[in-house]
Amino acid sequence: MTIDRRGWLALSVVGLAFAASLSSLGNAFAYDDNLAILINPRVHTLAAPWAAFAESYWPVDRGGGLYRPLTVLLFAGQWAVGQGRPFLFHLVNVLLYAGLSALVFWWALALLPEGAAWLVAALFAVHPVHVEAVGNVVGQAELTAALAVVLAVGLYLRWRQAAPLAPLTGRQVGLLALLYLGACTTKEHGIVLPGLLLAAEATVLAHGAGGWRARVARLRPLYLVLTLLALVFLAVRTRVLGSFAGDLSAQSFQSLGAWPRLLTMLALVPQWIRLLYWPAHLQADYSPQETRVIHTPDATVLLGALLLLSIIGIGLRFRRDRPVIA
C-alpha cells in the first residue's frame, strides 16, 4: 500500500501530536482523576455496564452531578484492561489526541487548500492550551466528545458539498445521530453540534445550495432527529440528576443572579482569547474559586463585550465573500 501526499501530511500531524503529548504518559492520577477514577468503585467493574446510564458522573457520596455515562464505561474498560494503572489511561488520551489532530486535518481539507489545512491541524496538534484535556485522564471526556463532533461536522461538510441539492440519506442521518449521541453522553457540551452544522449552512455551504425554503425541506429530517435526541438526552439527564442543572453547582456562583453571572463571563472572554493566541501562562485549575466575581461593569467586562461583538461583526462582514473566515 502506498501513501499519497495527503497521507504523509496527516502522519506528520499525528507525529506532532505525539511529540507534544508523550511526556504525559508518565503522569499519575491527579486532581479530578482521583475522584472520578481512582477511588470511584463504579469504574472498577464492568459487571453492570448499563447502570452507568442511570447514574450521575460523579459518585453520589461526592455530591453527584453531571451525566456522562459513556465516559464512565470507557473508564471502566480501561481500568479492567490496565488493572487500574494510570499508564493505559494516559496512553488512550495521547492516542485520542493524535487521532483528533489527524481528523482536524481531514476536516480542514474540506474548506482550505492543502497547505493551509496542514497549518491548521499542526497548530491544533501542538497548541499548549490542550494540555489540560490530554494531561489529565478526565480530559478524555473532552477528547472523545471532540472526536465525535469534528467527525460529524467533517462528514456533513463533505456530504453537502458533494450533493448540495440532494437530501441526506437515511444512513447519513443515522450516522450523524449516533455521533451526536456519543458526543452528548461523553461530555455535555457535545449538545452544540446542531449549532455548528447550522453555522456551516450559513457560511461555507450557503452558495449554490438553492433557495432557503428548498434547503429547509432537504435538511428538515436531520434537524428534527437531532432536536429529538437533544430533548431525550436532556430529559434523561434531568431524571438521573434530579434537576436540569443537577446537584453540582459552582459554589461561588450559587447566590448570584443572571446579571453578575453575565458580567463575570464577559470578563473571562479576554482570558479565553489570550489562552488561544498567547498561552504563555497556563494553570491546572480554572475553577470558580480562581474567577473574580463581578457585580458592576468594569474595563475587563467592556473589553470582553467588545471582543465578542468584533468576532460576530467579522463573521457577518465576511459571510458572503469570505465564508471560511466567517
Q: Is the pLDDT of residue 248 over 60?
A: no
Q: Is the pLDDT of residue 166 over 60?
A: yes
Is the pTM higher than 0.75? The answer reads yes
For residues 137-161, give the mean pLDDT: 95
Q: How far apart are CA 178 and CA 105, in angstroms?
A: 22
Q: Is there a contact between 6 and 114 (Cβ–Cβ < 8 Å)? A: yes
In this prediction, residue 175 carries a pLDDT of 97
In this prediction, residue 247 carries a pLDDT of 56
In this prediction, residue 132 carries a pLDDT of 86
Q: How far apart are CA 96 and CA 147, in angstroms?
A: 8
Q: Is there a contact between 316 and 199 (Cβ–Cβ < 8 Å)? A: no
In this prediction, residue 251 carries a pLDDT of 64
Q: Is there a contact between 153 and 193 (Cβ–Cβ < 8 Å)? A: yes
At residue 250 the predicted structure's pLDDT band, cuts being 50, 70 and 90, is: low
CA nearest neighbour of 157 among 324, 313, 13, 4: 324
Our separate counts of H helices and E strands in the chain read 12, 0
Q: Is there a contact between 226 and 176 (Cβ–Cβ < 8 Å)? A: yes
In this prediction, residue 85 carries a pLDDT of 94
At residue 46 the predicted structure's pLDDT band, cuts being 50, 70 and 90, is: confident
Phi, psi for residue 95 in degrees, rounded to 5 = -65, -40
At residue 210 the predicted structure's pLDDT band, cuts being 50, 70 and 90, is: low
DSSP H or E run through 196: helix 193-202
110 Cβ contact partners less than 8 Å away, ≥ 6 residues apart: 154, 157, 158, 161
Q: How far apart are CA 292 and CA 283, in angstroms?
A: 16
Q: How far apart are CA 69 and CA 183, in angstroms?
A: 11
Q: Is the pLDDT of residue 10 over 90?
A: yes
Q: Is there a contact between 70 and 182 (Cβ–Cβ < 8 Å)? A: yes
Per-residue pLDDT tens over the stretch 83-125: 989 999 999 999 999 999 999 999 999 999 999 999 999 999 9
CA nearest neighbour of 43 among 19, 59, 65: 59
Q: Is the pLDDT of residue 245 over 80?
A: no
190 Cβ contact partners less than 8 Å away, ≥ 6 residues apart: 145, 148, 149, 180, 182, 183, 184
Handedness of CA 24, 25, 29, 33 (dihedral sign): positive
Q: How far apart are CA 264 and CA 275, in angstroms?
A: 17
- How many C-beta atoms surround the C-beta of residue 249 within 10 A? 12
Q: Is the pLDDT of residue 76 over 80?
A: yes
In this prediction, residue 246 carries a pLDDT of 65
Which stretches within 246-325 are classed as H helix? 258-277, 299-317
Per-residue pLDDT tens over the stretch 254-293: 778 889 989 999 999 999 999 999 988 887 766 667 788 8
Start-to-end C-alpha separation, the chain: 39
Q: Which range has the worst mean pLDDT, 164-168, 181-185, 243-247?
A: 243-247
- How many C-beta atoms surround the C-beta of residue 30 within 10 A? 14
Q: How far apart are CA 320 and CA 326, in angstroms?
A: 8
In this prediction, residue 1 carries a pLDDT of 64
Q: ∠ at Cα 259 (257, 261), nearest 5°?
A: 70
Q: How far apart are CA 24 and CA 136, in angstroms?
A: 8
62 Cβ contact partners less than 8 Å away, ≥ 6 residues apart: 35
Q: How far apart are CA 187 and CA 233, in angstroms?
A: 12
At residue 206 the predicted structure's pLDDT band, cuts being 50, 70 and 90, is: confident
